[in-house]
Structure 1
Amino acid sequence: MSREYCPKCGYPLVVCLCAAISPMGCDVDIWVLQHPDEASHAKNTARLLPLVLPQTRILCGESKTDFVDVQAELTARAGPLYLVYPQDETSEPDIAPCSAGAGQSGGRPLLLLIDATWRKALKMYHLNPWLHGLPRLSFQPQIGSDYRIRKAGRSDSLSTLEAVAHGLQCLHPGLDVAPLLAAQTAMVTKRLAAMPAQVRARYRES
């Protein structure tokens, strides 16, 4: 018997998230370069973004040739653009510090993110040298990730959704990102509840 899906949120009915989804207004565009493996991953958080931020675009691919059209669009686009990606310890200070304002002239700001496991995100970054020259927005989270249903490659790792929430607050200090975090919390809670007890026990309880 095939699994039934909610026509609104797109999740299986057993983990329908509609009750936890509250679209929020924001003048920042979100583009996500998504590794193909993430597109069908049940625990992926990027798929939550368009439900809360309708201006989100999910762009699937891995190498430079997969994103030729994306590069052309970004080149032609007006407005400040920031790649949300952690700085190396040896890198210069952030090009786009967390005090950066979104009110620059020329168009809406855009946050560009890579959606993948840490190892695959690093590979995608190296496969796409056009990303290296973009202004970068990086930050040190004040609190740890609440995304406890997938293993992280770094102690300071955030889910893609959490990275968006932090990025938005960097551009708009004081912005209420609760709708984003509530959607992720609901997804995590329902995924855990749907797991067999022996599987659920493997994950860290909050």
Structure 2
Amino acid sequence: MARSYCIYCTYPISACLCHAVSPIQISTEVIVMQHHSEVHHAKNTVRLMQLVIPEIKVVVGESQTDFSQLKAYLDTQSKPIYVVYPSDNSVSVSQANPANNAIIILIDGTWRKAYKILQSNPWLLEYTALHLDVEHASNYIIRKAKRPDSLSTLEATALLLSAMDSAVDTTPLFAAFDAMVQHRLSAMPEGIKARYQLHNKEVK
């Protein structure tokens, strides 16, 4: 029998997240360059971001050709543009102090795939690179990461928006995120759930 999906949140009916989604409006223009392998990933947080912030632009691809239209669009913009990617040359959000009406570009994918997108699109290096001062480990405990400072794209966006404008209420982003995480955990057998650890503590 084919699985039924919610026409609003597009998640399976059994995992419908509509009850946890409250759309918000922001002044910042958020653009996500998403690796194609993430589009249909069950744990993809960009889907949640689009439900909470409908104005977010998502462009899928990897090569420079895939993002040629995005580059052409950005070339016409007068607003400051930042790429969220930690590196030796990146600066913290507090140091850059970007205006809340800036354009923020996030790269969605594993570290390896995000790096591939960056290397395939050298024009991104023309923009100031930002990094977040991560004080707490990610709550994205249903997806393993090799780096302790790894955040989901949703978490990074929420923290970034809060740092740029203290008046922005990012609670709806975290509410949708937590609902998705808890649903995924509740569906896991205990033996599998125990494998997902955060700072050496068993997920319960």
Q: Same fold (TM over 0.5)?
A: yes
Matched residues in 2 for 1:99 and 1:134: separation? Answer: 12
- Tell me the SS of whatever aligns to 2:136: coil
* 1:162 alignment counterpart: 155
Offset, 1:4: 0.6
* 2:139 alignment counterpart: 146
* 2:179 alignment counterpart: 186
- Tell me the SS of whatever aligns to 1:192: helix
Q: Cα–Cα, structure 1 residues 114 and 101, in superposed 2: closer, same or farther, change >3 Å?
A: closer
Work out whether residues 6 and 13 of structure 2, in 8 Å CA contact, stay in contact via their aligned partners in 1: yes
Offset, 1:191: 1.1
- Tell me the SS of whatever aligns to 1:199: helix
Q: Deviations over 1:1-55 (max 9, x none)?
A: 1111100001011111000001112111111000010000000101111111111
One-letter amino acid matched to 1:27: S
* 1:112 alignment counterpart: 105
One-letter amino acid matched to 1:94: V
Q: Deviations over 1:79-132 (max 9, x none)?
A: 1211111122xx3x61864561425xxxx3211110001111111111110111
Q: 2:99 aligns with which of 84, 99, 102?
A: 102
One-letter amino acid matched to 1:154: R
Segments ≥4 residues shifted beyond 3 Å: 95-99
Offset, 1:139: 1.6
Name structure 1 gaps, 5 residues minimum: none
Matched residues in 2 for 1:98 and 1:166: separation? Answer: 15
Normalised by the size of structure 1, how large is the TM-score? 0.90
**Cα RMSD between the aligned structures?**
1.7
Normalised by the size of structure 2, how large is the TM-score? 0.91
One-letter amino acid matched to 1:100: N
Matched residues in 2 for 1:2 and 1:98: separation? Answer: 51
* 2:193 alignment counterpart: 200
Identity score, percent = 45
Matched residues in 2 for 1:203 and 1:163: separation? Answer: 21
* 1:71 alignment counterpart: 71
